[in-house]
Structure 1
Amino acid sequence: MTQYVLVAGAWLGSWAWDEVAAQLRAAGHGTHPVTLSGVADRQGVSAGQQTHVQDIVDEVERLDLRDVVLVRHSYSGIPVGQAAERIGDRLARVVFVDSNVPAEGQSFASAWWEGPAKLQASIVANDGFWAPLAAADCDGQDLTDEQIARIVAGATAHPGASLTEPAVLKRPLGELPATYVKCLLDGAEPSDDVTELLAGSRWDLVQMDTGHWPMFSRPRELAGILLDAAGK
Structure 2
Amino acid sequence: MARFFHDEDYYYDRGMRENPPAIRALYLVIIAILYAFTKVFWRWRVERPEELLPKGETGSIIISNHTSMGEVVATVCHIVRTGRRVRPIMKSEFNKNPVVRWFFARVGGIPVDRGTADMKSLRRAQHALKRGEDVLIYPEGTRIRSDDQPVEVHGGFALIAQMAKARVVPIAVCGFRDITPEGSHIMRPLKTWIRCGEGLSLTDAPADVGRRERLQWLEDESIRRMYAVRDELRAEHPGRR
> What is the TM-score when the length of structure 2 is the normalising length?
0.36
**Larger gyration radius, structure 1 or structure 2:** 2
More strand by share: 1
